[in-house]
Chains A and B, each alone.
Chain A
Amino acid sequence: MAGKNKSVERLQHDLQLEENLDQHKRGWVIQKVGWTILYLGLILAAIGVFGTGPLSYKTQVINGNSVEYERFMRYEGESEMTFHVKDVKDSIALEIPQQYLEYIDVLSITPLPDRNRTVDGVTTYYFPAGGAADIHCNLMAKKFGNISATIKVNATPFTIAHKIYP
């Protein structure tokens, strides 16, 4: 029975064709390995290793303030970074180093900042606020590679690291 005997049938035929059975056998093995890698890649993608998934989302909490962002981003792909700030007296200062902005484009910030200024390679956005407030930044990766930068919210430093895929 074919089901019991898994060896591939050797055949003598009078067809003028180059069958190369050994290469077929190698090909079937490589195919299986390829499928395994393919499905492994799919699983990794589903859990967020290539962005947008549970493994990609990261939250940091320092001094009661927190930030949620994606560790893994894709080139020209959009992503969101949200800062949750508590005990705000009258304003929030969000300091983003230019080095970060070389890799990441800030497409929009909600709420809109009151003003901004750039001093010594750091762009600071000022928001009038009180109590607890959230700042949502809509980002787009404009270069691929690894970027790590310290973003400060009211002097609370968050080290944000992204791996940006091509």
Chain B
Amino acid sequence: MNPVIRGLIIYLFLMLVFRLSGKRTLAQTTPFELVLLLIISEVTQQALVGEDYSITTSLILITTLIGVDLLVSVIKQRSRSFEQVTEGSPLVVVADGKLLQNRAVKSRVSEEDVLEAARNLHGLERLDQIKYAVLELDGTISIIPK
């Protein structure tokens, strides 16, 4: 198969799968998730290259992936709705020291995740010391202390 088509299919499939799996997936890379990422990259590499290890194929694939990514970023910049579809938007999960249960459950954020971020970022000890906790686009949790 043409390497450009391969590159496009793999790019779009990875984008779709990671979007569907949610922000929290692979947001905090545990040792196991790091291994998982390495396996995914290895499998992707095999699907991209196949039996063709030529420099030409590599150059075509690199150009395809960078080109598509560039195009996607330009479309995101020009279309707010496209950006929201592909990346989503931030979500407040703690307000005035209280975990917003339904938001947290649906976005797979636990109280422990919020407390861990609060300890790491601001040295906070309890949930009631947090004014807001926001689940950001990249899956990390940012904390605004009271």
Partner of A20, one of B89, B95, B103, B105: B89
* Bound CA span A31–B103, Å: 14
Shortest distance between the CB of A162 and any CB in chain B (Å): 17
> In the complex the two chains form, is B102's CB within 8 Å of A2's CB?
yes
Q: Is A76 a contact partner of B88 (Cβ separation < 8 A)?
A: no
CB of A166 closer than 8 Å to a CB of B: yes
Would you call A8 an interface residue if the criterion is a C-beta within 8 Å of the partner chain's C-beta atoms?
yes
- B9 / chain A contacts, CB cutoff of 8 Å: 166
Is A5's CB within 8 Å of the partner chain B? yes
Given known A-B contacts A15-B144, A17-B134, A76-B50, A2 and B101 have beta carbons under 8 A apart: yes
Q: Is the CB of A19 within 8 A of B90?
A: yes
A76 to chain B, nearest CB (A): 6
Taken residue by residue from 1 to 37, chain A's Cβ proximity to chain B (1 for < 8 Å, 0 otherwise) reads as: 0110111110101010111110110011011001100
Tally of contacts, chain A with chain B, CB under 8 A: 62
Q: Does A57 contact B (CB under 8 A)?
A: no
Report how far A76 CA is from B88 CA in the complex, Å: 37
CA distance A38 to B19 in the complex (A): 12
| A15-B134, A31-B22 given; A5·B90 CB < 8 A | no
A144 to B95, CA, bound (A): 54
Contact A9 B88 (CB under 8 A): no
* Those of B14-65 within 8 Å (CB) of chain A: 16-17, 20, 22, 50-51
Interface size class of B (residues with CB under 8 A): 20 to 34
**Per-position contact with A for B112-146: 1 when CB-CB < 8 Å, else 0?**
00000000000000000000101000000000100
Encode A89-110 as 1/0 by CB contact (under 8 A) with B: 0000000000000000000000
A26-79 CB contacts (< 8 Å) to partner B: 27-28, 30-31, 34-35, 38, 75-76
Chain A, Cβ-Cβ closest to B22: A31
Beyond A6-B102, A23-B89, A35-B20, whether A11 also contacts B95 by CB under 8 A is yes
**A17 B51 Cβ-Cβ under 8 A:** no
On chain A, the residues within 8 Å of B16 by CB distance are 34
- Shortest distance between the CB of B118 and any CB in chain A (Å): 16
Question: What chain A residues lie within 8 Å of B51 (beta carbons)?
Answer: 76
Beta-carbon contact of B88 and A38 below 8 Å? no
Q: Which residue of B is nearest A34, CB measured?
A: B20
Contact of A17 among B17, B90, B103 (CB under 8 A): B90
How far is the CB of A18 from the nearest CB of chain B, in Å? 6
Say yes or no: is B92 at the interface (Cβ < 8 Å to chain A): yes
Top 4 nearest A-B pairs by Cβ distance?
A2-B101, A34-B20, A9-B100, A20-B89
Q: Can you add 16 more A-B contacts, CB < 8 Å, to A19-B89, A75-B1?
A: A3-B101, A9-B100, A9-B102, A11-B92, A11-B100, A15-B92, A17-B89, A17-B92, A18-B90, A19-B90, A24-B107, A34-B20, A35-B20, A38-B20, A76-B51, A166-B9
